[in-house]
Structure 1
Amino acid sequence: MDKTRRGFLAGMAACAGGALSAGSANSTVAPRSKSVISNAANISRLRKGGSANSNDPWVEIDAQAFRNNVREVSRMAGGTPIMAPVKNNAYGLGDTVVGPLLASMPEVSRLACVRVSEGLALRAAGVRKPILNMSEVTEEEIEELVLNDIEITCWLDDAGERLDRVAKRLGKPIPVHFFIDTGLNREGMPYDRALPWMQDLARRPSVKVAGIYTMFIHDIEHDKVQLMRFNRLIAEARKEDIPLGLVHASPSYTTFYLPEARFDSVRSATALFGLYPDANAVSMADLKYVWRLRARIVRLEQLQRGETVGFGPKYTVEKPTTLALLPVGSTDGYPSSAVNNCKVMIGDHLYPVVGSMSSAHTIVDVSEKPDVSIGDVATLVDPDHKEIEPRAVAKQAGIGHYSLMSRLNALLPRKLV
């Protein structure tokens, strides 16, 4: 068994066993081994590969582009501290790579996630800034998050009873953010019946109110109505001396268009990754794309007229043709609709994607300029070249550019450059 596979299996076994503790340093309760993570090597998406000695495709994460976007969001927000969501595996780019990078920037005061595993992975990767889990979780998961110093969200009617039980087991109160539904009608405690619920939670010894927030729907007129409802609830809560902690509401869209929603922290996400909320926002900030997709040529062959390529077959060459094989395919996140629509850069030349794509292979016609070699780097997505920048590739493939990024396989190696 090779070292990479052996290490992977050992890490998975350690995660399954769950033996370790990385809870809050001032915890008065001994961590229980089933609930706590401690070894960064056990939870990591920064996998080996994509090096000079590997044929694995890889994703490059541009640290300078992230720094630029953080500065731009901070400027747009008037210096309001940023809560950086790294949910959904950092929108496809790798939470244990992107999370520590964002956490290292002074404008970012805290991180947010929507999965328990994401918060634990961020802690294991060395993130020490506050982290908020933005989903409802089970009692066992509440305990696990608290032991790892991760704040929780609640919005269900029975939150108090559940928090009482967990706090009793841990011997300390649970840091909680109230999630208020002001009109998204997807998650959260409805604003029009939230006040007595908040009063009940705030007076319980099991609860430490750490924050309150809402989510907008990204429609400016509707968002203004939501903001009015949220402000009204905040005013009523303060009149009743209900502690609120950190008040936050603003995603990227309202960071651009609704400065009144900044409160104590802006919860901007996609803008940090270089994505504008809409076309009108392009003139308001200078955002940079933050990632590239690359692979190496692993095979070069010249086919004669009439020969076929791949399963089916679905592609027949009509003249002598030189084809390059790249070990990256649809399961890696490169869209199958790239065939006959997108190009790939090798050296300084663009070559068309042809044939049919498999789960792990892409075929490129290099006949026009066949001075390429096995081992040469091929760039499939690159923000530095307009023909293959993320938005261009997504448009050519007939998908959204957010989808292009978020569908990247979590198992691809990530390189911070």
Structure 2
Amino acid sequence: MQSLKSLIGIPKTATKEIYTFETNAKISLFYNICAIVFFGFDTNFLFDDLKLPRKIVEICRIISNVFGLLILLYVCSVVAAFVTQHNLDMTRKAQMWLYGPSSLTLYAMYWNIVLRKNQIKKLTYTLVVVLRGMFTDDELEKEMIKKTWRFSYAFAFLLNGLFVSTGIVAGYVASTTNDTFTTMVPAWPDLNDHSLAASIARIAHYCVCYIFLMRIGCIYFVIAAIAIALQFQYGILCNYFHSLNSIFDEEGSHEEKEQKYEDAFVFGIKMHSLTLWCIDQTQVTCGVAFSAQFIANLMTLVAIMVKFMYMERTFGNYLTVFMFAGLVLSSAGIFMWNAGDVTFEATKLHTAMFHSGWHNCRRQASVRVRKMLTIAVRQAQDRVTIKGFGILELSYESYISVVKLAYSVFSVLA
């Protein structure tokens, strides 16, 4: 069947005039998110300048370069711990697995997103400028903005709560027992080293870990905003096609209404084609992030369950484990729930097209519209999915499957 893109002449890439736009609510949302991300690691994912003072930009760049080096050393340290740290109990081994492989995986995800920032700029421009300029729904747009901030606030709360609770628990244990302040297992120092240099190194690891988590959190903000925007874009498309029925209630001759409906339906197909392009670009730009998130979640959940089984039953340990589990499950949800919502909303589009009012057309107009409708509905019926590893569909079902798989792996290892 002939592709809709070739049928109506939609280009395969977004417009190159990425700096031509008027401010709107979606742009303000992405501007604020990208500003937060920029302060996090000096990378601008917005299609326009952030309009920050030059001095601030220079300072952020210097700080970001220093933080980038520290994060690289941190990742190397938690991975090298598998070689340098020996004679660990099961709790410490679980802690080592909790931070080592997952940190390396998330670090790879981080760099993949940074290297694809220009593609992300084109993607967000198409979403918040081009498609919004074609048609929008103010109520859905407000709901999209609220949902984006709700996810961001919840994730930020869990991330900071985990950092604070881990530090408090480790500090309390170090001050009341003979244990050292250990929040993760580094390559150096040894866990039984009580020297001043070792204590400073552990505190440094703890602080750099927070910087690393903040950068990963910034990546999550960007991906979540894109996924949520795609979800509501399908809702906007459905509302657009439902609204076409009202054309035949307007004044004028029936032939004029038919022509207006036909032009409006073609315009809706163009919006759908651009939306599909956005889906493809999301898969290209964020596919590695989706795959890396799956691996990191699986390993982290298994490590959390192992640690829970062997740890001392205290309030502090319970708090840390539950905060960590909540963070992991919510981070997985940011990707899988919203990707699943995109799939769900996309299933409504072909019905909206069918109820757009084509039956009001007559004679030759009816023939033309029915042919166009058949192609459009057929393409809208194709399942829209966002996948990890190119095969794992991200959805509510796959979210439950990841949790079940982690428990299965834990059961085998235990």
| TM-score (normalizing by structure 1) | 0.25
Structure with more of its chain in helix, by fraction: 2
Structure with more of its chain in strand, by fraction: 1
Q: Which has the higher contact order (CA 8 A, sep 6+)?
A: 2
